[in-house]
Structure formats: C-alpha cells, structure tokens
C-alpha cells in the first residue's frame, strides 16, 4: 500500500519548519498543544464570540460614543483623556471577557507589549498583550467543567505568558481573558491577563492584502479560501463566507415558507434501482448485500409523487442530485434542488406560489431588497413575466414572422427550407467554434478561453442565423458561407447537414426547442416564466386541455439561466406508461439521457393520484444570482476537481 509520508503532504520549507519548531517549544511550555476545549464567557447573554461581543448593544453604545467624539477632533488630535477614561471605566464595569479565535498575523514582540488581532471567521477584535501583565495557561492543568456563579473554574497552572506569546504564529488559535478598553483611535480592544494556546497553524496564512486570487485554488482549497477571505483587508463584493451565509439564508427562507404553508419535508432515497425522474445520464454503483446495481438519484420526483399517491397532499424535499454530465459555468454533476408537490393545484397555481415564495426568500437573504446586481445587469425579483415559448421566439426572430406572415413558429417549421436552416445553424456554430482554433488558438488556449469563445459566438448568433438563408434551397461553398477552409474540410460540414436532412421530421419536432435555446434563452434577463412547452419533451407533464400537443409546463429563466421547472403532473397511469415507452424507444435509438420505464411508479399511479402540480428549483443558480457569482462552482463549498498529479523528479 502506497501511503504518503506526512512531509509529502505538508511539504517542508523555511516557514513550516519554523512553525514546527514553535510547536515543539510550546509543547515543552504548556504541555498539551491541542487541548479539548476553551470555555468562552457569556457576558452578552450567549457565548461571547468576537462577533457577538462587537454587536452587543452595551458595548456598541460605548464604541459609538468614542467614535462620535473622535469625529469632532482635528486631524492628528487624540481623544480627550477624561472622555476616553470615562468610557473605559464604563467598559471595566462589564468585568472580564473570555474570547477565542485565530491570530490574523504573527505577533511582533520587539518590546514589552504588542497589539494583534483575533478573528472568529466573520469579525476581528484587537488584543493587547503586555509582558508584565499576561499569564500563560498550562494545558497540562487545563480547567475542566463549566463555570457558574457559585462554582468558578478551578485555578489553572500558569506558565510565562510572554514566552508563550512569542511562540505564536499567524493563524494559530488562542483563547484570552481580559478586560475591554478603547485605544486612542477608538478601537475596541482586550487587555489580556491570561492567554491559552489552543491549536497551531503549521502552514502560513494566505496574503491578507489580496487573499487567494486563483479561482481554481479557491475551489480546491475552500478552507484556505474561507480563511483568506476573512483575513483580507480589502475585497470587492461578498466574502466567501458571506456567499455561503447568503445561500443558507435563501434555503432557510424557502423552508420556512413551505413549512408555514403546510408542506411536509421528507427524505427519499439517494440511491435507487432506476435512474428516473429526469432525462439525464446517471452515476452507477453496486449494492453488494442486495447484489443489484443502483443509481445516484438524478431527481426525487417519482418518489415524491408516490407520497402524493399515499396521502401527502403537500410534500417537499431539499435534495442533492447527481447527473453524470459535463461541467460548465451553469452545470455541476452534483447540485442542490428544492422539489415540492401540491395536490389539487395546477401549473398556474404553482407559478403563483413559486413566485411568492422566491420573492420572500430573496428578500430575507438579500437584506430586504428584491433587486440584485448581477454582472452588468440589475435583476428585479419583484416582477415576474409570463410568456409562451412560441411568443418568445416570434419576438426575437421577427424577420421570420414577416416572411411567413405568421407569428407561430410551428408554421415556419412546416417549411423544408426553414428546417434546413436549423440543420445548417447547428453545423455553422460548430464550424465557427472550430475556426477560432484555426485562426491561432492552440488546444490549450481554446480550453482556457472556452468561455470567451462561447461568448463571441453567442454575440454573433443572429449574424450566423442570417447566413443559414444560403442553405434553404442549396448548399453554398465555404467562401459563400464566410469560412476560409479547404473544400475537403467544408465538404465534411455539407455531408453532416445532408445526412441530418434525411430525417427532417426530427427537426420539425424539436425545432421549436432548438430555436428557443439558441435565440431566446440567453436574453431572458428578468425573471420570466416560459409556458406552453411541447408535450413531446415533457414526458411527466399533463397535456393542456385546450391543445393536446402542448404540455402544462413552465420553466423560470433569470439572466439566461433556467432556475426552475414545473408542471401539472400527469396522473393517468396508462398515458404515463405510453410516455415511458416512447422514451424507451428514444433510448434504444441512441439517446442515453431518455427516461427508463419505472414499473413501480406506474403501479403507484394505478392506485390513483389526485390532480397535482410540482416544481424543481435550482438552488445553486439562485445563489449565483444573489451573490453575483458567475460560476456554479463558486457557490458550492467543495466542488469536485481533477486531482493534482505530482510529477516525481528523477536524477539524471
């Protein structure tokens, strides 16, 4: 078994070796260098974290008073001694406090006293350590139990506090006890009387001025990113911690809204014998005891609807889903969904409910505001639009409305020339992307600049669509289509278009969705419900009572991202069976993301399911919007990364 040595994981250098020497010296001085606990005071009424202490009203009032006084002084002038002493005397009446945290920097101990800051990951407080005043706590005689007014903590064994202080490094955890006071700059500080060592940082802290700038390192070493972001003196936007705190607020807001509305939270299997509930490629594993293959869930939908059959009229699950698919700025194979179902509700009622819930949750997570800044856009969650897929396409591709004298894209799709344009557009996009490589980007540069390449093609999508007119009735040359490639290369594109043209029926059936995804989706900036989806791509949705070819389905788009998907649930077991059979046929035809037949779900429906509506909401994408993050991996604490492969050096 190849087990790496400790020094192979924590590679030694001058800094780590110095910290290791300090650790050994601390062990000699205090005994146990990794004590089990530190008892913080409860002056604030709860545990005195640094954040609680700074925000405690009695303390904050004194700090605000000295700052008001300082604001009246001339530049360079110190607070009046009597004013400062009166406020410090008020702070002394609060008694001693016991706080703990991480040292933000290595103490400078050139003289007989030093200032340094402690951080609890959110806020920091300055501590003042004076050689003649500080005592160190021996962890060999560590105080156990909890202090009470009638039973104080046992008297500890003391060591030289200044010697202990000089062995500390930036990043170490310590606990201090002392009294509060104000400096001449008005900064709240703790005059330390006792100091206890709690844990050593063997690795140096990230740069406190710039933090960790490399996004890959931020995601790979999220713990270091959290530290760096909390220590960073200046930063734009939210800190890493604030991003995930906002995420937590959004989730708790949605949970509370659902709970208050009478929904029951449940947990359904994360491993199932069928990869059902959505069209996606699953992760596969094996259950040794049962001797069966299992799949990481791609959606909890069919389990939640089984519960609706069983009598849960309002049910929800906040779940992790897994789809064995590609990575992008908007996609991660492991992601969080909120999925819920309500009996006796239809798609319109679900849109109303989802809109109200999202508004309230956003307001609570976004400091009471429904407006967020995302890149160059300002998104207003106070306004949700509803528009059909066909109407959205007709608004964007208006020239085709004039040509066919119809605003119904289905009319356009009846024309074989229009069908050929769609086939050509697919190929021209590929050709345009490949031309970036031909024009000078290496494979490595293309991968590095993939987002820029996709944005370039996105910005030129309508120019590319205009070019497809050349393909309506014939195949143009590469030069006519605007590509500088040899005829032999261009012929490959022509052959692909012609080969696909053999099955224009497929283009006719899926052309509506293609047009929407290519020309509409990215321009839906404000919250917009797209309704009236084709039934053919909605195998779990009920058909519209007014048009059997349309599904009672919606998707919510914000800033070009699909953030939610919902519909009136299909509850006819026979029709659901037939839809599954159609999906299985597509699967046999090569579509490995088509759904599989779930016999047990059909059996459940046969017991009768009431009319119901359901929705799945992408939590990660909503968090992206609320935190101005443009990669889904920046709102996931520990996204999967390719492992770092260490290249072993060999002697020549």
Question: Block means of pLDDT (10 residues each) for the chain, length 652 residues?
Answer: 88 94 97 96 95 96 94 90 94 96 91 94 96 94 47 75 96 97 96 98 84 89 92 83 97 98 97 86 94 95 97 97 89 96 97 98 97 96 95 84 80 84 83 64 61 75 85 84 79 76 71 90 96 86 88 96 96 93 84 86 97 97 97 95 70 48
Return the number of other C-beta atoms located less than 10 Å from residue 180's C-beta.
23
What's phi and psi for 615, nearest 5 deg?
-155, 150
Q: Measured on CA atoms in the order 368, 372, 373, 377, is the torsion positive or negative?
A: negative
Using the 8-state DSSP alphabet, how is residue 209 labeled? Answer: T
Check if CATH label 3.90.1280.10 holds for domain 13-199: no
In the structure encoding, which two tokens stand for residue 248, read together? 């937590």
Q: Are 196 and 118 in contact (CB under 8 A)?
A: no
Q: Are 139 and 32 in contact (CB under 8 A)?
A: yes
**For residue 454, what pLDDT is reported?**
73
CA atoms within 13 A on the CB side of 29: 23
Return the number of other C-beta atoms located less than 10 Å from residue 464's C-beta.
19
Inter-axis angle of helices 487-501 and 416-438, to 10 degrees? 150
Q: Measured on CA atoms in the order 165, 171, 175, 178, is the torsion positive or negative?
A: positive
**For residue 151, what pLDDT is reported?**
47
Q: Are 62 and 182 in contact (CB under 8 A)?
A: yes
Short-list 512, 533, 531, 521, CA closest to 557: 521
Report the C-alpha gap between 467 and 483 in whole angstroms. 11
Report the C-alpha gap between 72 and 87 in whole angstroms. 16
Report the C-alpha gap between 108 and 491 in whole angstroms. 72
Report the C-alpha gap between 4 and 86 in whole angstroms. 60
Short-list 490, 473, 419, CA closest to 481: 490
Give the strand pairing for 284-287 and 292-296.
antiparallel
Q: What is the dihedral of CA 6, 12, 17, 22, to 10 degrees?
A: -40
Domain ranges of the chain: 13-199, 243-384+527-634, 409-511
Report the C-alpha gap between 439 and 503 in whole angstroms. 33
Please state the three-class secondary structure of 544-580 as a single string.
CCCCCCEEEEEEEEECCEEEEEEEEECCCHHHHHHHH
Short-list 71, 65, 43, 82, CA closest to 180: 43
Q: Residue 413 to residues 397, 406, 460, 492: CA-CA distances in angstroms?
A: 13, 11, 23, 25
Short-list 490, 495, 497, CA closest to 438: 490
Give the DSSP H or E segment for 189.
strand 188-199
Return the number of other C-beta atoms located less than 10 Å from residue 644's C-beta.
6
Q: Which of 219-235 are b and which e, b meaning 16 or more Cβ less than 10 Å from the residue's Cβ? A: bbbbebbbbbbbbbeee
Q: Residue 615 to residues 94, 341, 540: CA-CA distances in angstroms?
A: 53, 7, 12
Give the strand pairing for 334-343 and 314-322.
antiparallel
Check if CATH label 3.30.930.10 holds for domain 243-384+527-634: yes
**What is the separation, in whole angstroms, between the first and last Cα of the chain?**
27
Return the number of other C-beta atoms located less than 10 Å from residue 208's C-beta.
16
**For residue 154, what pLDDT is reported?**
62
Report the C-alpha gap between 403 and 303 in whole angstroms. 48
Q: Are 366 and 242 in contact (CB under 8 A)?
A: no
Report the C-alpha gap between 578 and 222 in whole angstroms. 47
């Amino acid at each position: 078994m190849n087990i790496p040595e400790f020094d192979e994981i924590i590679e030694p250098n001058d800094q780590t070796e110095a910290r290791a020497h300090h650790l050994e010296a601390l062990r000699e001085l205090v005994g146990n260098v990794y004590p089990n606990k530190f008892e913080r005071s409860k002056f604030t009424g709860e545990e005195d974290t640094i954040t609680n202490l700074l925000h405690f009203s009695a303390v904050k009032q004194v700090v605000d008073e000295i700052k008001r006084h300082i604001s009246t002084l001339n530049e360079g002038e110190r607070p009046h001694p009597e004013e400062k002493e009166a406020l410090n005397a008020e702070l002394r009446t609060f008694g001693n406090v016991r706080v703990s945290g991480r040292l933000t920097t290595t103490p400078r101990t050139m003289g007989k006293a030093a200032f340094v800051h402690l951080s609890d990951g959110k806020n920091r407080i300055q501590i003042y350590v004076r050689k003649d005043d500080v005592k160190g706590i021996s962890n060999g005689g560590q105080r156990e139990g909890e202090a009470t007014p009638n039973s104080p903590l046992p008297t500890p064994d003391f060591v030289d506090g200044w010697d202990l202080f000089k062995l500390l490094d930036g990043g170490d955890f310590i606990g201090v006890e002392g009294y509060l006071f104000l400096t001449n700059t008005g900064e709240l500080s703790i005059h330390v009387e006792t100091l206890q060592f709690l844990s050593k940082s063997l690795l140096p802290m990230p740069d406190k001025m710039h933090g960790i700038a490399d996004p890959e390192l931020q995601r790979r070493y999220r713990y270091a990113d959290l530290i760096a972001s909390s220590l960073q003196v200046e930063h734009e936007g939210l800190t890493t911690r604030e991003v995930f705190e906002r995420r937590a607020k959004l989730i708790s807001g949605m949970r509370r809204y659902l709970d208050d509305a009478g929904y029951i939270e449940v947990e359904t299997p994360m491993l199932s014998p069928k990869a059902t509930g959505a069209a996606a490629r699953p992760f596969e594993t094996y259950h040794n005891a049962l001797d069966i293959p299992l799949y990481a869930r791609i959606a909890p939908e069919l389990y939640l609807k089984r519960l609706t059959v069983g009598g849960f009229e309002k049910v929800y699950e906040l779940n992790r889903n897994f789809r064995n698919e590609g990575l992008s700025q908007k996609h991660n194979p492991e992601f969080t969904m909120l999925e819920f179902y309500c009996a006796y509700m239809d798609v319109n009622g679900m849109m109303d409910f989802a809109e109200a819930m999202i508004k309230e949750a956003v307001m609570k997570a976004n400091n009471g505001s429904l407006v967020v800044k995302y890149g160059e856009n300002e998104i207003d969650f106070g306004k949700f639009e509803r528009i059909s897929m066909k109407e959205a396409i007709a608004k964007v591709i208006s020239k085709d409305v004039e040509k066919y004298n119809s605003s119904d894209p289905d009319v356009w799709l009846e024309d074989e020339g229009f069908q050929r344009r769609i086939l050509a557009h697919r190929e021209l996009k590929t050709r345009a992307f490949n031309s970036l490589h031909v024009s000078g980007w290496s494979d490595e540069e293309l991968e590095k600049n993939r987002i820029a390449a996709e944005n370039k093609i996105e910005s030129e999508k309508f120019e590319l669509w205009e070019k497809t007119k050349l393909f309506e009735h014939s195949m143009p040359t590469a030069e006519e289509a605007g590509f500088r490639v040899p005829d032999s290369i261009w012929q490959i594109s022509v052959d692909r278009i012609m080969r696909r043209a053999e099955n224009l029926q497929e283009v006719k059936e899926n052309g509506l969705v293609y047009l929407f995804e290519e020309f509409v989706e990215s321009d839906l900036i404000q919250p917009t419900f797209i309704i009236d989806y084709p039934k053919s791509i909605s195998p779990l949705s009920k058909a519209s009572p007014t048009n059997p070819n349309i599904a009672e389905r919606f998707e919510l788009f914000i800033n070009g991202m699909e953030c939610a998907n919902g519909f009136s649930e299909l509850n006819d077991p026979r029709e659901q069976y037939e839809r599954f059979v159609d999906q299985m046929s597509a699967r046999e035809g090569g579509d490995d993301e088509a759904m599989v037949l779930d016999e047990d779900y059909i059996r459940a429906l046969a017991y009768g399911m009431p009319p119901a509506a359901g929705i799945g909401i992408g939590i990660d994408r909503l968090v992206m919007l609320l935190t101005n993050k443009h990669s889904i991996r920046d709102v996931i604490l520990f996204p999967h990364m390719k492992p770092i492969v260490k290249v072993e050096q060999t002697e020549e």
